[in-house]
Structure 1
Amino acid sequence: MSARNVKTSSSDSPREEGDDFKTPYAIEAPETQIDTSLEPAYVVDHHAERALCRRFDLRLLPVLALMYLFNALDKGNLGNAKTAKFDKDLGFKSNQYNIILSVFYVPYVLFAPPIAMLGKKYGPARVLPILMFCFGSMTMLSVTAHNFGGMMALRWFLGTAESAFFPLVIYYLTTFYRRGELARRLAIFYAASNIANAFSGLLAFGVFHIHNPHIYSWRILFLIEGSLTVLFAVLAFFYLPKNAADARFLNEDEKKLAYHRIQADSSSVVNEQFDLRDSLKIFRQPTTYAFLAIEMCLGVPLQSVNLFLPQIIARLKYSTVKTNLYTVAPNITGAVMLLILAFTSDFTRRRGPFIVLGFTFTFVGMIIYSAIDVEDSLHVAYFATFLMCWGTSAPSVLLSTWYNNNIPHEGRRITMTSVGVPLANVMGLVSSNIFFPSSAPKYIPALATTAAFGATGAVIAGLLSLFMIVDNKRRDKKLGRKLDIKEVPTEMLKDGPDVPEFRWFL
């Protein structure tokens, strides 16, 4: 018997221990023995749900998107500054510019898990603005750097401050949205990264027109970006709601509905206390290592494009100012492609195929740019940079969404994200050390290496998606029928694949 035969009561409030409370949904038990004493993984009033999501969208997404825009600006502005010869102004020698890029990723990986765990304990709504204030301050202080050592120290602390930012934003959004609603919201947030790269090019285009004999133009760029970040961090600290159940802009009925939605289709226990030992159990699951392998393969194309797109486009032999301007269109279309793939992914409730498609875009773009004679095919070469941008953003968003969709346990979810996202970013160590000055302006070895990582990521993502399809069919066969995941409340799925009723979100 289907769990869609539902009788509703007038209350949508969640059941709590000790309350004299009746479940608002009475479900006829299916023929197989599944515990249906708990609430089903959906609510009946879809109109109220849509209205609630719109309120979350309007309240959260613009602010989070702007926060991530500043995050991406402060992390990736060295590429623009280098086109204004900041490395020569600071007296860099040999491969010291590559070292400056690389040192960022060491604290980025080391400090992401502990800071993310602190974010879980004290609340991302408070920790995120504090991190933002810190990395904005590091960007402002870059104006005071006068040598290699000073800039390296600032990049170290910048990496520390930015380490847990993206993992905490992902976790924060999972406390407001259902699994099937997450990808497109995360994509809107993450599109700010592409917009930031485009805006950074436009900002650099404008700033580098300033000719002041007393201050280098790249210092003005750092000062503007850093000061805007710090000011917005103060605003965000007082603006972001702690969680859905405590949001001041919701009435009591909306708070109850928000709590129920997450309890039913996101977290096994809403706002659970962080338990490190229990959270580390995520590393007992074999699929965890497949996800981490894909993150590693994703990291090289992602960081290669983020860090070196101005240098790649410089091969087209435009002026310094025009080179920064020409980074805008690929990044803007990358944001558009990200939104298309994410919305389609939510609509089809599939992650794996769109991750594979994203990797394929990057692979093709890198191969085209490596294989052609750029001087004779400028338009084709420039189109290849569009493919590079199309294929880097979408897999990052969808991969993070994919494993968050498959981890009902909040502690394990933040632990996985705090390891997976920095792991992708630490692959910037590879990216920053394959674009050697000696291989400029063609960078053939770097482009070939990046393409190889993209191809490997596509293969692993495809195989993992196939495994999930087969495993879901195996579980249905053992059950004796096809199980609709909406029949099973997330509260039952705390232990993930170890639970017979668990089904992979493909």
Structure 2
Amino acid sequence: MASHKDDLEKAKDGISISNDVSVHSTHEAGMNDDVARVVDHKAERIISRKFDMRLLPVLAVMYLFNALDKGNLGNAQTDGLSTDLKFKDGQYNLLLSIFYVPYVVFAPPIAMLGKKYNPARVLPILMFSFGSFTLLAASAHNFSGLFALRWFLGMSESAFFPLVIYYLTTFYRRGELARRLAIFYAASNIANAFSGLLSFGVFQIESTHLEGWRYLFLIEGACTVSFAVFAYWYLPHSANEAKFLNDEERALAFHRIQVDSSSVVNEEFRLKEALEVLKMPATYAFLCIEICLGVPLQAVALFLPQIIQRLGYDKIKTNLYTVAPNVSGAVMLLILAFCSDFTRLRSPFIMLGLLFTFTGFIIYAAINDVQNQLKLAYYACFMMTWGTSAPSVLLSTWYNNNVAHEGQRVLLTSVGVPLANVMGLVSSNIFREKDKPKYMPALITTAAFGAVGTLLAGLLGLYMWFDNKRRDRKAGVKIDARDIPTKRLRDGPKVPEFRWFL
């Protein structure tokens, strides 16, 4: 016991090395293997800024197209997709639902292949694939054709977001991750807003040759395919192979990840080791929160145009009025994520976001006469978007912060993220045609999932806090999660030094 306590004290003592030391190699500049906080903060800021400028804009644009290609069906529906293709009752909902079957089934195996063959190459290939299927959707002439294309679209998009999260964990420290993921994920909200603007413009095209929704698929698909080609040659393989860094910066970049992200950087994927994450009870708590988050997340992503349509606008204005709520959702996402990184806390901000969503759906459900309370109804739409994007980003960040093994991170993310998205099966089937225009059963169901998610996030955060206190008492010294290098946390909570990232 005494020796263990001494080890912990040494780990903490190692943190206080002077900030004046300059970085020249992995052994100079105080970059001790047992120190979890790199001491040359100026050098770190320079590297982080370079990663921000080189990676985030490209990844954000990639995810913008990912979200556009996934969510454009709702915009196409407002332009008469079902009528033009002569859908029977329930077939539109089936189109929404079928996307999520391959999305969940293929996410883990494709993510594992992405880990093996490098996300920097696999991500653009996936992007090229889902862009191609969006292009082909413009040629669909019946339900069966569009149904098949939605299946392959779900397959090609399945591992995209999990692989981006894993890719970013190989460049950024745990405490830097949330705000970077937020900037990247904000592209989803911007995509929804841009989709509304694009639809607003496209649907005004007067053509006797093609319907407006076909132009929408053509434009979005062509842009996606073009950008995928550029991204394939642009993205760096890893932090220590980035050509825009010099030798000293690459050494520091590698060390940062070794001590505060991964137990072994660029470790070869082994399925047996990755499956060990399923033995951790907290894994199932994370997955349950993903399920609860998924219903409001997908309800807003898929049905916001239909929700706003209740306000009494025509198809053009309906798409236009989706822009402001989605932009405000992106702003709220950035605010909560930056606050989360600043305080190094995840669970309170996940709870706050889910509470926003719960409140928005309850307010909207409580309104009987929309025309007399038009401003309040539209404000509720804003609250719906505030509470969907931020919890999604922070939850993914939360469990990635608590898993140091790269293979386990990939596996957990490739299960958790699609699990949230597969709840689109619930969302797409509770918003029924017969419940138009209010969709009361859907609103209440969505609010209930938000409330349960808030409760689960709070309980898991409390458990982690109490467990950290228990571990401190047992060790006889107070240790923060950031004090222990992640290379010593390969076995997770089994290690006495392990502390939860709250």
TM-score by length of 2: 0.96
The equivalent of 1:199 in structure 2 is: 194
Answer yes or no: is 1:425 the counterpart of 2:421.
yes
The equivalent of 2:184 in structure 1 is: 189
TM-superposed CA distance for 1:498, in Å, is 0.6
The equivalent of 1:208 in structure 2 is: 203
Matches within 5 A, 1:463-502: 463-502=459-498
Aligned-partner Cα distance in 2 for 1:485–1:103: 41
Answer yes or no: is 1:13 the counterpart of 2:25.
yes
Match of 1:398 among 370, 394, 399: 394
The equivalent of 1:32 in structure 2 is: none
Match of 1:335 among 330, 334, 338: 330
TM-superposed CA distance for 1:3, in Å, is 2.8
The equivalent of 2:151 in structure 1 is: 156
Structure 2 stretches lacking a partner, 5+ long: 1-8
The one-letter code of the counterpart of 1:482 is K
CA contact (8 A) 1:279 1:415 kept: yes
Match of 1:241 among 224, 236, 241: 236
The one-letter code of the counterpart of 1:25 is G
CA contact (8 A) 2:72 2:195 kept: yes
Aligned-partner Cα distance in 2 for 1:5–1:407: 25
Aligned-partner Cα distance in 1 for 2:483–2:290: 32
When the two chains are superposed, the root-mean-square deviation of aligned CA atoms in Å is 1.2
Matches within 5 A, 1:191-340: 191-340=186-335
CA contact (8 A) 1:13 1:260 kept: no
The one-letter code of the counterpart of 1:438 is K
TM-superposed CA distance for 1:23, in Å, is 7.2
Match of 1:104 among 99, 103, 122: 99
CA contact (8 A) 2:21 2:39 kept: no
Aligned-partner Cα distance in 1 for 2:289–2:22: 45
Aligned-partner Cα distance in 1 for 2:60–2:360: 27
Aligned-partner Cα distance in 2 for 1:413–1:297: 21
The equivalent of 2:30 in structure 1 is: 25
3-state SS in 1 of match to 2:429: coil
| CA gap 1:251/1:446 in 2 versus in 1, 3 angstroms | same
Match of 2:14 among 3, 9, 22: 3
Aligned-partner Cα distance in 1 for 2:30–2:256: 13
The equivalent of 2:4 in structure 1 is: none
TM-superposed CA distance for 1:12, in Å, is 5.0
Aligned-partner Cα distance in 1 for 2:234–2:177: 21
TM-superposed CA distance for 1:39, in Å, is 2.6
Aligned-partner Cα distance in 1 for 2:161–2:483: 32
3-state SS in 2 of match to 1:458: helix
Match of 1:41 among 33, 36, 39: 36
Aligned-partner Cα distance in 2 for 1:24–1:93: 68
CA contact (8 A) 2:263 2:405 kept: yes
TM-superposed CA distance for 1:481, in Å, is 1.6
Answer yes or no: is 1:450 the counterpart of 2:455.
no
Aligned-partner Cα distance in 2 for 1:4–1:147: 64
Aligned residues: 489
The equivalent of 2:6 in structure 1 is: none
Aligned-partner Cα distance in 1 for 2:235–2:134: 23
Question: What per-residue deviation string (whole Å, max 9, x for no partner) do you get for residues 136-160 of structure 1?
Answer: 0000000110000000000000000
Structure 1 stretches lacking a partner, 5+ long: 15-21, 28-37
Aligned-partner Cα distance in 2 for 1:323–1:443: 17
Match of 1:70 among 57, 65, 70: 65
Between 3-12 and 46-55, the greater mean CA deviation after superposition? 3-12
TM-superposed CA distance for 1:185, in Å, is 0.2
Question: What per-residue deviation string (whole Å, max 9, x for no partner) do you get for residues 334-372 of structure 1?
Answer: 000000000000000000000000000000000000011
CA contact (8 A) 1:6 1:26 kept: no
The one-letter code of the counterpart of 2:498 is F
3-state SS in 2 of match to 1:3: helix
Aligned-partner Cα distance in 2 for 1:367–1:119: 40
Question: What per-residue deviation string (whole Å, max 9, x for no partner) do you get for residues 117-168 of structure 1?
Answer: 0000000000000000000000000011000000000000000000000000
The one-letter code of the counterpart of 2:476 is G
Identity of aligned residues (%): 69
3-state SS in 2 of match to 1:430: helix
Aligned-partner Cα distance in 1 for 2:496–2:397: 23
The one-letter code of the counterpart of 2:195 is S
Aligned-partner Cα distance in 2 for 1:291–1:427: 15
The equivalent of 1:35 in structure 2 is: none
The equivalent of 2:3 in structure 1 is: none
TM-superposed CA distance for 1:504, in Å, is 0.4
Between 370-379 and 307-316, the greater mean CA deviation after superposition? 370-379
CA contact (8 A) 1:41 1:485 kept: no
TM-superposed CA distance for 1:5, in Å, is 3.8
The equivalent of 1:33 in structure 2 is: none
Between 3-12 and 145-154, the greater mean CA deviation after superposition? 3-12
Aligned-partner Cα distance in 1 for 2:46–2:421: 36
